[in-house]
């Protein structure tokens, strides 16, 4: 059986040229690439045996990460939110992660609430919770309570998108719902790709502390558009 050092070296040799090219295209620093390789080896040696065994199994199926049951995400949360109200990078990263926890918990709770509330009511409830979260971020209540606003925003976001999709046949008719849902999903993807870099420009040229104001503007637009939709399709 091969030793861990041999396994790591074989993998590194196999991907070295491509990895080095991609890394230096981005950072233009050979010394940093050498440091990256050293860090990868340290993390590999510290990896639990069960995970190393899983790595060996995945080597037999190189397309494992493309399977329909896989989901991945990476965000530079600490670099993005490290200066909000003087919050440390570690604290900002942990609370930003709580935003996604808020969404997860909110989705679970939404399943029960939909037995009592319809789609329009669920969306309005989500908007109210998002508004409370933004308000908490705006007011000088201290670091912990202020960052709790991120959790509330995640909680409020949870029911909005699913209920928007679910209510489409009621608003536009079952015969048009498939096409409308396609437009809704496309707009969601465009928003996901566009809105973060837009705020990145604002943060770089003005201040990252404008994040709550930015979110508030988007929330107001969402409320207005949803209420107009409900009025026109009632």
Mean pLDDT of 59-74: 76
Q: Please indicate, yes or no, whether the overall pTM of this predicted structure exceeds 0.85.
A: no
| pLDDT score for 4 | 83
- Burial class for 9, CB neighbours closer than 10 Å (0-12, 13-18, 19+): middle
Which conformational region is residue 142 in: left (phi greater than 0), alpha (psi within -120 to 50 degrees), or beta?
left
Q: Which residue has the higher pLDDT, 110 or 92?
A: 110
pLDDT band with cut points at 50, 70 and 90 for residue 102:
confident
How much is the average pLDDT of 174-178?
89
């Amino acid at each position: 059986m091969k030793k861990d050092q041999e396994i790591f070296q074989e993998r590194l040799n196999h991907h070295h040229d491509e990895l080095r090219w991609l890394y230096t295209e981005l950072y233009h620093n050979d010394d940093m690439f050498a440091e990256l390789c050293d860090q990868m080896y340290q993390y590999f040696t510290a990896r639990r045996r069960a995970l190393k065994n899983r790595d060996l199994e995945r080597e037999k199926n190189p397309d494992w990460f493309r399977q329909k049951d896989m989901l991945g995400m990476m965000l530079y949360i600490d670099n993005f939110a490290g200066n909000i109200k003087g919050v440390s990078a570690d604290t900002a990263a942990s609370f930003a992660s709580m935003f996604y926890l808020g969404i997860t918990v909110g989705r679970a709770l939404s399943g029960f609430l939909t037995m009592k509330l319809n789609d329009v009511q669920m969306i309005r409830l989500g908007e109210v919770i998002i508004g409370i979260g933004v308000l908490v971020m705006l007011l000088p209540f201290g670091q912990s309570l202020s960052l709790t606003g991120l959790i509330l925003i995640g909680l409020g976001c949870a029911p909005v998108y699913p209920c928007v999709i679910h209510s489409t046949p009621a608003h536009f008719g079952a015969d048009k719902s498939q096409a409308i849902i396609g437009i809704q999903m496309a707009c969601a993807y465009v928003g996901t790709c566009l809105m973060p870099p837009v705020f990145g420009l604002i943060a770089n040229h003005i201040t990252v502390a404008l994040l709550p104001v930015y979110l508030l503007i988007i929330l107001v637009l969402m409320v207005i558009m949803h209420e107009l939709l409900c009025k026109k399709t009632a």
